[in-house]
């Protein structure tokens, strides 16, 4: 009997299995092909706006994605460096083969974690809860909790032009029995689509007609804990390397542009595209196909495409931005209209994949299925897109499955705690009818949820859940103390005009007329970290990453305080729990649409209820009235109502205790 069984070894499944094993549980990871664990079938990159925040949060929760990326990357950059700290984000190009090898080695060496090649076709249940999985061989394996992370494999169909072929990914069979088993258990399924671009031979690219995009000249890392030795294979001579950074060998990417000829070829063949024809299903809005771009922006004369090497030694180059469902021969015609790709040879044509997903409104904030205790969902199975979203869900689902297996309190990440909290809350409160992608604009507290402070935000919760060690938690506590001490010191350091005005003028800033604390000066617009180091040096110096965080905390202190006040104002609504089986059907005064949506999503708190699409403030006011009445209901009358309608109030005593004082 295993504590946790994880089905699927993509980014969600790998992180889920590792999380549960870190917590001391006995874990089984089942996948259809052990040679394809942690594969990057689409974009060979990690990070980007909002996604980098998720990777840092996975790292803070003890996950593996950040450190694996640092080992396997071929290039790393800081995006939005000229903008505010809330939207700055790391993005790395990764050697996809090395990344998979790093993750596979970690999985195989983790204590308490077993790997099994096999296909799960159904779930075992006992007394209304999950009790294991059933394999295609007929074997049943017992488990106290199960995490499903099946990616795009449920009834997966590969689509290229007019061609249709069963498959979860190119060259891999789909899972066709498991979705039927889930439907038989009462789960509602939907259907989504995603698409991939062509890969071209590096030797067929004219790099003289591209604009190189180089990696960072200063050291950058995703992991806030580790500085792993990089894995660097021999460099393929097909890539012109250009300038090199002193701290690490990196490969450039290359920018090209589509043109009117490109768009004409696409328009003439739209009727052959698998992603825009009548039988296509919803695809990603924020990472659209090239066909969708042409349709949405008919007046735009060009779109950017990035040529991204898939590894140090491979000839395959990923054409970022050219996601497509066009036939292979049309893809070739499209690329040939771009000067740098006029002689390009396609190694792997792009294709679309349609697949079943579980409507996430059936989940709780722990990623547990409400109707079947012990079952958890993670990754694209929940309607999301992207490796980073999948990995983050995997950590949360794996941790909560491990906690459930031992009857311990679940781990819940709120919207004010992390992008992971925003992601999960959006999934369970919104109607997901297109692949969900994490965006910085989705986080209302994004100045509090920067990528640089993920460890300070989440490590304490991770430690309580058993996801990180005492030693790692102590390191974070020391970091927080060092930052607090430095902020206090800067508040005490007095800067006299005769000592600092010359430095201020060098930086183009107004001189001082009287002495002020260093902390006050650093809140002025236009101040920089280098100025802080000049006017108020510290001996011994703190490491630069910590100083950068101190500087951000000081410079944005006013804005941070306002967001913290906003969090405090909303905390009452977020902490006001709703009974798990509260009946919305007969709530007098509430609109029918609101009742139907609340019944479908089953919010856990009033705050969640207020975020459900189609529920307005007047509906929430009605809900609050009924909750207050129920909380103040005499116990004898409550018992009588329970007898008449047990489903509505089965957990009344528990919720009444939790909600005491909120009315």
Q: Do both 333 and 403 map to the same domain? A: no
Q: 226 burial class (0-12, 13-18, 19+ CB within 10 angstroms)?
A: middle
Q: Do both 264 and 292 map to the same domain? A: yes
DSSP letters for 67-103: HHHHHHEEEEEEETTTS-TTT-EEEEEE-HHHHHHHH
- Give 492's DSSP letter: H
Q: Give me the pLDDT at residue 639, please.
A: 46
**Could you tell me the end-to-end alpha-carbon distance of the chain, in angstroms, rounded to an integer?**
45
Q: Do both 363 and 388 map to the same domain? A: yes
Is it the case that residue 658 has pLDDT exceeding 70? Answer: no
Q: Which two tokens stand for residue 542?
A: 């703190």
The mean per-residue pLDDT over the stretch 37-62 comes to 95
- Please identify, among 410, 437, 465, the residue that sits at the C-terminal boundary of a domain: 465
Is it the case that residue 657 has pLDDT exceeding 50? Answer: no
In a domain, 470, yes or no: no
Q: 581 burial class (0-12, 13-18, 19+ CB within 10 angstroms)?
A: middle
DSSP letters for 194-222: EEB--EEEGGG--GGGSEEE---SS---S
In a domain, 527, yes or no: yes
3-state secondary structure labels for all residues of 329-378: HHHHHHHHCCHHHCCCCEEECCCEEEEEEECHHHECCCCEECCCCCEEEC
For 394-440, the pLDDT digits (tens) are 999 999 999 999 999 999 999 999 999 999 999 999 988 899 999 99
In a domain, 215, yes or no: yes
In a domain, 9, yes or no: yes
Q: Is the peptide bond before 540 cis (omega within 30 degrees of 0)?
A: yes
Indicate the SS3 state at residue 175: strand
The mean per-residue pLDDT over the stretch 213-223 comes to 94
Q: Report how far residue 29's alpha carbon sits from residue 381's, in angstroms, rounded to the nearest whole number.
A: 17
pLDDT range class, residue 633, cuts 50, 70, 90: low
- Give 20's DSSP letter: H
In a domain, 601, yes or no: yes
Weakest-pLDDT range from 164-168, 347-351, 448-452, 579-583: 579-583
Q: Do both 372 and 429 map to the same domain? A: yes
CATH number, position 359 = 3.50.50.60
Q: 30 burial class (0-12, 13-18, 19+ CB within 10 angstroms)?
A: buried
Q: What is the pTM of this model?
A: 0.91
For 77-117, the pLDDT digits (tens) are 999 988 888 889 999 999 999 999 999 999 999 999 999 99
DSSP letters for 628-663: HHHHTS-HHHHHHHHHH-GGGSTTHHHHHHHHTT--
Q: How many domains does the chain have?
A: 4
Average pLDDT, the chain: 91
In a domain, 130, yes or no: yes
C-alpha angle 283-286-291 in degrees, rounded to nearest 5: 60
Q: Give me the pLDDT at residue 438, please.
A: 95
Q: Do both 118 and 210 map to the same domain? A: no
Is it the case that residue 661 has pLDDT exceeding 70? Answer: no
Indicate the SS3 state at residue 234: coil
Q: Which two tokens stand for residue 167?
A: 């498959």
User: Are 399 and 413 spatial neighbours (Cβ–Cβ below 8 Å)?
Assistant: no
CATH number, position 306 = 2.40.30.260
Q: Do both 522 and 455 map to the same domain? A: no
Q: Do both 554 and 591 map to the same domain? A: no
Q: Do both 74 and 163 map to the same domain? A: yes
For 133-158, the pLDDT digits (tens) are 999 999 999 999 999 999 999 999 99
Position of tokens 């104002």?
A: 569
List C-alpha distances in Å: 615 to 478, 570, 618.
44, 17, 8
Structural domain for 593, as ranges: 576-659
CATH number, position 631 = 1.10.150.570
* Strand order across the 157-160 sheet: 163-166, 157-160, 352-358, 189-195
- Please identify, among 443, 465, 487, the residue that sits at the C-terminal boundary of a domain: 465
Higher pLDDT, 319 or 540: 319
In a domain, 566, yes or no: no
Q: Do both 536 and 643 map to the same domain? A: no
Is it the case that residue 634 has pLDDT exceeding 80? Answer: no
CATH number, position 555 = 1.10.10.1800
For 244-302, the pLDDT digits (tens) are 778 899 999 999 999 999 999 999 999 999 998 767 788 888 888 999 999 999 999 99
- Please identify, among 532, 561, 590, the residue that sits at the C-terminal boundary of a domain: 561
In 450-556, where does DSSP find H-type helix? 454-465, 470-492, 497-506, 518-521, 529-535, 544-555
Q: Report how far residue 546's alpha carbon sits from residue 563's, in angstroms, rounded to the nearest whole number.
A: 22
Q: At CB < 8 A and 24+ separation, what contacts does 565-570 make?
A: 566/444, 566/445, 567/416, 567/445, 567/448, 570/416, 570/607
Q: Do both 347 and 274 map to the same domain? A: yes
Q: Give me the pLDDT at residue 278, please.
A: 63
Q: Do both 165 and 44 map to the same domain? A: yes
In a domain, 471, yes or no: no
- Give 390's DSSP letter: H
Q: Do both 250 and 203 map to the same domain? A: yes
């Amino acid at each position: 009997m295993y504590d946790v069984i994880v089905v699927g070894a993509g980014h969600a499944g790998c992180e889920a299995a590792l999380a549960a094993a870190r917590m001391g549980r006995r874990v089984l990871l089942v996948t259809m092909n052990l040679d394809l664990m942690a594969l990057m079938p689409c974009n060979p990159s990690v990070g980007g706006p909002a996604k980098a925040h998720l990777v840092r949060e996975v790292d803070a929760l003890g996950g593996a994605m950040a450190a694996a990326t640092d080992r396997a990357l071929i290039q790393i950059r800081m995006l939005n460096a000229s903008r505010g700290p809330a939207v700055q984000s790391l993005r790395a190009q990764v050697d996809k083969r090395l990344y998979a090898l790093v993750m596979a080695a970690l999985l195989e060496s983790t204590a308490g974690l077993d790997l099994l090649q096999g296909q799960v076709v159904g779930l075992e249940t006992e007394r209304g809860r999950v009790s294991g999985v059933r394999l295609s061989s007929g074997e049943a394996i017992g488990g106290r909790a199960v995490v499903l992370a099946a990616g795009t494999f449920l009834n997966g169909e590969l689509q290229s032009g007019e061609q249709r072929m069963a498959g979860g990914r190119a060259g891999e069979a789909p899972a066709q029995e498991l979705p039927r088993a889930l439907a038989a258990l009462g789960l509602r399924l939907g259907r989504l689509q995603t698409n991939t671009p062509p890969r071209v031979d590096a030797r067929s690219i004219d790099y003289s007609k591209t604009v190189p995009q180089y990696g960072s000249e200063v050291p950058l890392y995703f992991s806030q804990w580790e500085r792993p030795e990089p894995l660097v294979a021999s460099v393929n001579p097909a890539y012109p390397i250009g300038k090199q950074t002193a701290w690490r060998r990196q490969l450039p990417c290359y920018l090209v542009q589509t043109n009117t000829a490109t768009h004409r070829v696409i328009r003439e063949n739209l009727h052959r595209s698998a992603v825009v024809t009548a039988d296509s299903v919803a695809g990603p809005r924020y990472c659209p196909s090239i066909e969708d771009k042409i349709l949405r922006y008919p007046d735009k004369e060009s779109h950017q495409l990035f040529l991204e090497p898939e590894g140090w030694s491979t000839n395959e180059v990923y054409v970022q931005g050219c996601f497509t469902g066009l036939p292979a021969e049309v893809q070739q015609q499209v690329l040939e209209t771009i000067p740098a790709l006029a002689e390009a040879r396609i190694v792997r044509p792009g294709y679309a994949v349609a697949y079943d997903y579980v409507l996430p409104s059936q989940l709780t904030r722990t990623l547990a299925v409400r109707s079947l205790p012990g079952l958890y969902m993670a990754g694209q199975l929940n309607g999301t897109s992207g490796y980073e979203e999948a990995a983050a869900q995997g950590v949360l689902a794996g941790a909560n499955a491990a906690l459930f297996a031992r009857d311990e309190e679940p781990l819940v990440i709120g919207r004010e705690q992390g992008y992971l909290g925003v992601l999960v809350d959006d999934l369970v409160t919104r109607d997901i009818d297109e692949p969900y992608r994490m965006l910085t604009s989705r986080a209302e507290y994004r100045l509090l949820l920067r990528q640089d402070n993920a460890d300070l935000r989440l490590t304490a919760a991770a430690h309580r859940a058993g996801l990180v060690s005492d030693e790692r938690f102590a390191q974070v506590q020391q970091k927080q103390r060092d930052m607090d001490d430095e902020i206090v010191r800067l508040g005490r350091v007095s800067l006299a005009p005769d000592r600092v005005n010359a430095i201020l003028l060098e930086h183009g800033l107004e001189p001082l007329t009287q002495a002020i604390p260093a902390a006050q000066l650093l809140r002025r617009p236009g101040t920089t970290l280098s100025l802080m180091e000049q006017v108020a040096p510290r001996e011994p110096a703190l490491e630069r990453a910590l100083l950068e965080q101190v500087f951000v905390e000081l410079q944005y202190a006013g804005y941070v305080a306002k967001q913290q006040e906003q969090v405090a104002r909303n905390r009452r609504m977020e902490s006001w729990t709703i009974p798990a089986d509260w009946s919305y059907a007969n709530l007098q005064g509430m609109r029918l649409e609101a009742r139907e949506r609340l019944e479908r999503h089953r919010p856990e708190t009033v705050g969640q209820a207020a975020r459900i699409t189609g529920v307005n403030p007047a509906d929430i006011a009605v809900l609050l009235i009924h909750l207050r009445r129920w909380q103040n209901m005499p116990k004898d009358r409550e018992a009588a109502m329970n007898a008449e309608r047990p489903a509505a109030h089965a957990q009344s005593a528990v919720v009444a205790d939790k909600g005491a004082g909120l009315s």
